[in-house]
């Protein structure tokens, strides 16, 4: 007897069912679109669930017919994750094993079900046909059928019926119908053809033009294939490329300090990194060494399209990794400029160092310098000076050491005499310029020195020079933005700070600084966006949490603001600023008793000098206008932040039109650091 049933092989996990026989993924019985390769990848991961799979093992199993890059694998992993996330389950079933591969971590139940043989679809059929519920696969192909398939009958005309002789027209009538039907069919075909031409040609031209509009790129450290790996080579090629392309304005290039953060996190999916950075494209590559030959494969991946824009291969002799680094970076830079049709300026080869130990110390120095903290800057100096000792011609190490010293001196951090730190900064920055007259980082460091010396005009000039030399210098843009808050309008300062944030979008500092300026400019909704980004990167940041509370306050969401400030106060009981802001919010909410209690508790502290602004605003909303004005008049602060709050903060609106406020603003400006005037 002929077999009428077949066993269907299912893998069930969460809300999903993978039908291995019919090659289909279902979520609560509904078809989930997946490309053939993405389906095969998911199936392979599930079959090997719980086991860490090397990238090479996955590539060899799924892409047996061709050679592909690791970036292709990362893209398909991304698409599978996205399909699972948006079709019923937020759980991440696929774990990334940094610098190794992937593992399927979901609970899976295998099931074999008897199913009528006639209803089983041929393998791969679902990739090209819609499912029974009407949803379509991403790979569904539409074709223009023959004329007979598209023929229609005129309204009111009799429909053909093979069982009725009455339905058969006369020869003359058949001729007329055939004539007009032919014209109608021809007309339909012409319209369909024109529509198809327009759809495929003009839409593709439009999409192609749109897809070419790449204005921002992240260059990732190149990964290495094989056992003989050297991470410094992959990072070195990326760093050199960033240096070569970072000095032009047509394309924004994410700085090396940003990319290093992703290495620390172990993130290796180029699409995910591109989305986090908000860039249009990601440049990634692999390095494979066999004996004395090295092959480098490079891909430029469009983040929105999630597909490679172009790829190239380079072969070279592995006689010197730095010579190879320069050769590859130069060729990739030229190819990038050519492929993008952009007037990209490519600098001369700017080899940072040929000493691996010097480069390693330099990258560690960048890590500590990026923190900008009192205890981290001395560690940054230590590592930069170690790099200089290993390579006395390492210009960029001199420049960053100068910047670290300038910050130590400007902010009067303990452990180093400020004047000595400033002199050291000058010496190192000038040495950097002697080695590299176009060192953007050296001009950036000298800008802080100029501020310390109360020469704001010179600082402004130096920051503009630094940005001109390297448009993706987020540090210079950030400092330039603060200078513009008093030299120009707040809108112009915000525009510059946006560029700083765009250059380094995963920096807590750039996001928080933009948050502060947007809030003062009465743009709380947009400020909220950047504040949340900062909190994603550092949930424990007390500054970010206080900023968030003030944004809630500005939007009238007092309960949210209160809860957030109470969390901060619980962690930092001695933090007076949060208590006084909380007092102000309770006063606005009409709970004067709670507001006054918090204010009185804060007044017990003998040193309120730095918090007089918050104290004054608490008085103001408690109805004690005179005390508020007197407190502001007695404030001795001359910081830029204090002045900006006096000038722009909405909390002073109740007195902004008074003569007392005008006098307070004049006093705040006159006591401001002369460098900012």
SS3 category, 225: strand
Q: Is the pLDDT of residue 588 over 80?
A: yes
Mean pLDDT highest for which of 353-357, 380-384, 485-489?
Answer: 380-384
Q: Residue 68: what pLDDT?
A: 55
Cβ(337)–Cβ(346) below 8 Å: yes
Share of the chain above pLDDT 70, in %: 71
User: DSSP string covering 25-65, please?
Assistant: EEETTEEE---HHHHHHHHHHHHTTTS-EEHHHHHHHH-TT
Task: Name the more confident of 504 and 590.
Answer: 590
Distance CA 239, CA 220 (A): 9
Task: Name the more confident of 6 and 278.
Answer: 278
Q: Residue 490: what pLDDT?
A: 93
Task: Name the more confident of 546 and 88.
Answer: 546
Task: Name the more confident of 644 and 36.
Answer: 644
Q: Residue 312: what pLDDT?
A: 78
Residue 279 burial class via C-beta count within 10 angstroms: exposed 0-12, middle 13-18, buried 19 and up: buried
In the 3-class helix/strand/coil scheme, how is 543-576 assigned residue by residue? HHHHHHHHHHHHCCCHHHHHHHHHHHHHHCCCCH
User: DSSP string covering 298-311, please?
Assistant: EEEEETTTTEEEEE
Q: Is the pLDDT of residue 317 over 80?
A: no
Choose among 276, 279, 275: nearest CA to 253. 279
Mean pLDDT highest for which of 282-291, 370-379, 402-411?
Answer: 402-411
Q: Residue 65: what pLDDT?
A: 53
401: its two tokens:
């050491």
Q: Residue 308: what pLDDT?
A: 80
Packing angle of the helix pair 36-47, 70-85 (nearest 10 deg): 80
Choose among 157, 146, 150: nearest CA to 184. 150
Distance CA 462, CA 471 (A): 13
420: its two tokens:
């000595």
Mean pLDDT for the stretch of residues 455-468: 94
286: its two tokens:
């692999």
Distance CA 648, CA 258 (A): 32
Alpha carbons within 13 angstroms on the beta-carbon side of residue 234 total 23
pLDDT band at 166 (very low <50, low <70, confident <90, very high): very low
Distance CA 406, CA 103 (A): 47
Packing angle of the helix pair 542-554, 508-520 (nearest 10 deg): 20
pLDDT digits (tens, 9 = 90+) for 663-673: 999 999 998 88
5: its two tokens:
């049933």
Cβ(469)–Cβ(436) below 8 Å: no
Beta bridge partners of 282: 218, 301
User: DSSP string covering 458-500, please?
Assistant: HHHHHHHHHHHH-TT-HHHHHHHHHHHHHHS-HHHHHHHHHHH
Number of C-beta neighbours around residue 143 at 10 A? 4
58: its two tokens:
């996955």
Q: Is the pLDDT of residue 179 over 70?
A: no
Q: Residue 74: what pLDDT?
A: 76
Task: Name the more confident of 507 and 670.
Answer: 670
Q: Check residue 198 and report its DSSP letter.
A: I
Number of C-beta neighbours around residue 297 at 10 A? 20
Distance CA 120, CA 288 (A): 44
- CA 560, 528, 475, 481 torsion-angle sign: negative
Lowest mean per-residue pLDDT among 243-247, 277-281, 622-626 = 243-247
pLDDT digits (tens, 9 = 90+) for 222-240: 777 665 555 556 666 777 7
Task: Name the more confident of 150 and 270.
Answer: 270
**CA–CA distances in Å: residue 575 to residues 42, 45, 542, 546, 585:** 51, 50, 10, 11, 16
Lowest mean per-residue pLDDT among 239-253, 356-370, 504-518 = 239-253
pLDDT band at 519 (very low <50, low <70, confident <90, very high): very high
Cβ(499)–Cβ(493) below 8 Å: no
Share of the chain above pLDDT 90, in %: 36
Choose among 143, 147, 118: nearest CA to 129. 143
Q: Residue 246: what pLDDT?
A: 63
- CA 416, 420, 421, 427 torsion-angle sign: negative
pLDDT band at 208 (very low <50, low <70, confident <90, very high): very low
Q: Residue 175: what pLDDT?
A: 41
Measured in residues, the chain has a length of 677
Task: Characterize 471-496 residue by residue with b for buried, 16 or more Cβ atoms within 10 angstroms of its Cβ, and e for exposed.
Answer: bbbbbbbbbbbbbbbbeeebeebbeb
SS3 category, 133: coil
The mean predicted confidence, pLDDT, of the chain is 77
pLDDT digits (tens, 9 = 90+) for 24-53: 888 888 888 887 788 889 999 999 998 888
Packing angle of the helix pair 625-634, 659-670 (nearest 10 deg): 20
Distance of CA 249 to the CA centre of its chain: 19
Cβ(88)–Cβ(16) below 8 Å: yes
Q: Residue 98: what pLDDT?
A: 76
Distance CA 601, CA 659 (A): 31
């Amino acid at each position: 007897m002929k077999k009428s049933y077949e066993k269907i092989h299912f893998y069930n996990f969460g809300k999903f069912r993978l039908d291995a026989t019919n090659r289909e993924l279902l979520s609560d019985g509904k078809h989930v679109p997946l490309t053939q390769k993405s389906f095969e990848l998911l199936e392979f991961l599930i079959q090997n669930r719980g086991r860490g799979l090397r990238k090479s093992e996955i590539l060899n199993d799924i892409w047996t017919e061709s050679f592909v890059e690791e970036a292709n694998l990362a893209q398909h992993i991304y698409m599978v994750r996205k399909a699972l996330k948006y079709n019923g389950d937020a759980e991440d079933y696929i774990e990334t094993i940094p610098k190794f591969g992937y593992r399927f971590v979901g609970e899976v139940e295998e099931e074999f079900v008897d199913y009528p043989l006639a209803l089983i679809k041929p393998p791969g059929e679902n990739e090209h046909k819609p499912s029974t519920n009407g949803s379509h696969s991403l790979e569904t192909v539409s074709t223009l059928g023959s004329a007979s398939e598209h023929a229609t009958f005129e309204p009111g005309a009799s429909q053909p019926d093979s069982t009725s002789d009455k339905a058969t027209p006369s020869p003359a009538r058949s001729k007329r119908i055939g004539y007009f039907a032919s014209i109608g069919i021809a007309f339909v075909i012409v319209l369909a053809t024109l529509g198809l031409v327009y759809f495929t040609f003009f839409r593709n031209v439009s999409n192609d033009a749109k897809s070419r509009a790449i204005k921002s790129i992240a260059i990732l450290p190149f990964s290495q294939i094989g056992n003989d790996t050297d991470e410094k080579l992959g990072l070195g090629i990326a760093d050199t490329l960033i240096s070569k392309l970072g000095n032009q304005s047509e394309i924004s290039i994410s700085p090396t300090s940003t990319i290093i953060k992703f290495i620390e996190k172990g993130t290796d999916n180029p699409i995910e990194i591109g989305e986090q950075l908000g860039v249009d494209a990601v440049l990634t590559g692999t390095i494979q060494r066999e004996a004395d030959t090295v092959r480098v494969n490079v891909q430029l991946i469009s983040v929105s399209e999630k597909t490679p824009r172009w790829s190239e291969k380079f072969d070279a002799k592995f006689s010197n990794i730095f010579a190879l680094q320069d050769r590859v970076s130069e060729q990739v830079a030229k190819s990038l400029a050519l492929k993008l049709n952009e007037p990209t300026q490519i600098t001369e080869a700017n080899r940072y160092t040929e000493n691996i130990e010097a480069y390693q110390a330099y990258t560690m120095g960048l890590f500590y310098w990026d923190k900008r903290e009192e205890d981290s800057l001395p560690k940054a100096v230590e590592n930069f000076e170690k790099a200089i000792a290993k390579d006395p011609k390492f210009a960029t190490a001199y420049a960053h050491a100068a910047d670290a010293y300038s910050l130590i001196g400007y902010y009067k951090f303990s452990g180093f005499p400020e004047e000595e730190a400033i002199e050291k900064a000058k010496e190192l920055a000038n040495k950097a310029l002697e080695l590299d007259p176009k060192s953007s980082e050296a001009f950036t460091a000298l800008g802080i020195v100029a501020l310390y010396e109360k020469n704001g005009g010179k600082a402004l000039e130096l920051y503009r020079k630094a940005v001109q030399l390297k448009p993706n210098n987020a540090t210079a843009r950030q400092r330039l933005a603060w200078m513009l808050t008093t030299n120009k309008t707040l809108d112009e300062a915000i525009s510059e700070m946006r560029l700083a944030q765009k250059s380094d979008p995963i920096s807590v500092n750039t996001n928080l600084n933009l948050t502060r300026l947007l809030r003062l400019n009465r743009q709380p909704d947009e400020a909220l966006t950047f504040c949340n980004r900062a909190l994603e990167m550092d949930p424990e940041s007390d500054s970010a949490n206080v900023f968030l509370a003030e944004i809630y306050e500005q939007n009238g969401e007092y309960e949210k603001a209160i809860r957030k400030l109470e969390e901060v106060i619980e962690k930092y009981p001695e933090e007076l600023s949060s208590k006084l802001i909380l007092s102000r919010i309770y006063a606005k909410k009409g709970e004067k008793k709670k507001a006054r209690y918090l204010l009185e508790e804060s007044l017990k502290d003998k040193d309120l000098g730095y918090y007089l602004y918050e104290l004054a605003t608490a008085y103001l909303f408690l109805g004690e206008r005179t005390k508020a004005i007197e407190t502001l008049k007695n404030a001795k602060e001359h910081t830029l932040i204090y002045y900006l709050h006096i000038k722009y903060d909405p909390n002073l609106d109740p007195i902004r039109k008074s003569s007392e406020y005008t006098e307070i603003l004049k006093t705040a400006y006159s006591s401001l650091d002369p460098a900012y005037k």
